Amino acid sequence: MYYLIELLASFLAVTVVLTLHEFSHAYVAYKCGDPTPKFNKRLTLNPLAHFDILGLVLFAFAGFGWAKPVPINPYNFNHYKKGLTLTALAGVAMNYITAFLFCPLFYLVTYYVNIPIAALQSLLELFTLYLFLYSVSFCVFNLIPLPPLDGWRVVQAVNRKRGRVYRFLERYGSIILIVLIGIHFLANFMSHYEMLALAGRIFSYVDILGYIMRYVVWAFQWPITALWGLVF
């Protein structure tokens, strides 16, 4: 029963986090002069317009994933470089801002809300917790400078040179990202089974994505939890 409650809370939180992330991309691009997101019906808070099924499932089970990228035409921006940079950063900025707001919401629910039905209480507590955790993890994951993530869009916006490293990452970055995700998944999966524990430990040594998500997410979370911890 608890597993089902946890799974439902996870999917609900993912729905909110992904929708806000993609909507912010669409809104900022539109405000910078590009009507493409509006023409493609992405200037909306309707979750169905933004979902990518694989990214949604991975997010719910692994704590990070992706949504359907918002289509933009940077040549429509009033200022090309500024518009591209602001649009790329809009999603991660939205996630960090909402993480700052979801953290006290979790504290309020945990400390001051008492629903007689235990299942509903657990659902609400897990939902608000995942809103906070997923917001931070999605922020960090999307800052990785590999296509098609937001971090790569920032690199495109600020990088004037197109050297060998840039061209290599542009061509193979998405493959590198899939490999990193695959290693992280195998390291986590194998660690849960005794007969595969040794192989899981080996994969964990090269789990670069795992190191990023573990330590960078903690670094991003700490200022928020430290600040709100003074209040609660």
Distance CA 76, CA 34 (A): 5
| Annotated catalytic residue within 22, 125, 170, 194 | 22
Whether 22 is a known active-site residue: answer: yes
**Residue in 9, 91, 1 with CA at minimum distance from that of residue 50:** 91
Max distance between CA atoms of the chain, in angstroms, equals 62
Positive or negative torsion for Cα 179, 183, 185, 189: positive
> Is residue 146 a contact partner of residue 173, using CB atoms and an 8 Å limit?
yes
Reading the block at residue 139, the tokens are 């922020």
- Number of helical H runs and strand E runs in the chain: 10, 0
Give the CB-side neighbour count of residue 230, counting CA atoms within 13 A. Answer: 5
DSSP 156: H
Catalytic machinery residues:
22
